Amino acid sequence: MATEQSKIWVNTDFTGIELLSANYQRFEFCKHWHDELAIGIIEEGAEGLLYRGGNLLVPRQHIVAINPAEVHTGFAGTEQGWRYRMFYFDLDTLAELFADSELSIEPIIEQPIIFDLELYQQLLALHISLEISSLQITRDSLLSIALENLFARYGCLNSPNHQLPADILSAKLARDYINDNWQRNLSLAELEKITDCSKFTLIRSFNRHYGLTPHQYLLIIKIQHAKTLLAKGLSLSETALTCGFYDQSHFHRNFKRAFGISPANYLPR
């Protein structure tokens, strides 16, 4: 594992979420607590945790959840240490995010160690999107998906978690709006406004009806248009700008993910 290093930051679009990315081998946290809800994902190794009077081990691809005001420590669970990413969710921010949700939540997760590969991947994708160049709708959607699944599966709900209905009309309105505005950096808030539907219901409905979330659909539309423009002879920079990608690295990363080659290698010879 790499030498010890850590980085902490706040994404300017989500000031109520503090983010940490770190590698630790010998470092050990003293006893402390957070005013926020702390949610972490272990990428490599394992973290040891003194929590609620017991020593716990959180291995690779597991999620760790520390509730507000809970005293705990963190230390290496293996000789190699651990590499992980953390979210620190401000409680007022959580309340605001769930204000239009069908779920009524308390900012409490009922178990400190979670093994859920789907949720792990969602949280990892969200954390990375808040670190690198990403579309606003991508960040908004990943945040909504990850938090709704976290609280629906493992949270403390004020109401039963019934199967929630999909709104097909909202999904179609959102798809048509994306098709008409695919060059822009759309936000989830725009789609909420034109569909008169909460972000949670909209994402769920869109995914059930089309097999994709709105941000995945927007990226596919952008990539398909980019491929057409490159074939017509537009440069990489012109294509990225025309298709409304965040920057060149964002364009390159998503093009290669879709077609298996970089956009530079797709250019006509």
CATH of the domain at 50: 2.60.120.10
The last residue of one of the domains, among 157, 192, 221, is 157
Q: Are 49 and 93 in the same domain?
A: yes
The last residue of one of the domains, among 157, 189, 224, is 157
Q: Are 131 and 178 in the same domain?
A: no
Q: Going residue by residue through the chain (269 aa), what tens digit of pLDDT does each one get?
A: 557 899 999 999 899 999 999 999 989 998 889 999 999 999 999 999 999 888 999 999 999 999 999 999 999 999 999 999 999 999 999 999 988 777 777 889 989 999 999 999 999 999 999 999 899 999 999 999 999 999 999 987 655 444 555 678 899 999 999 999 999 999 999 999 999 988 998 998 998 888 889 999 999 999 999 999 998 889 999 999 999 998 899 999 999 888 888 898 886 55
pTM for the whole thing?
Answer: 0.86
Cβ distance 203 to 213 under 8 Å?
A: yes
Give the number of domains in the chain: 2
Domain extent for 171: 167-269
Q: Are 139 and 175 in the same domain?
A: no
The last residue of one of the domains, among 96, 127, 157, is 157
Q: Are 68 and 111 in the same domain?
A: yes
Within a domain: 250: yes
Q: Are 207 and 136 in the same domain?
A: no
Long-range contacts of 142-149 (CB under 8 A, 24+ apart): 142/215, 143/14, 143/97, 144/97, 144/188, 144/199, 144/200, 144/203, 145/203, 145/213, 146/119, 146/122, 147/94, 147/97, 147/98, 148/101, 148/103, 148/200, 149/118, 149/119, 149/122
Within a domain: 162: no
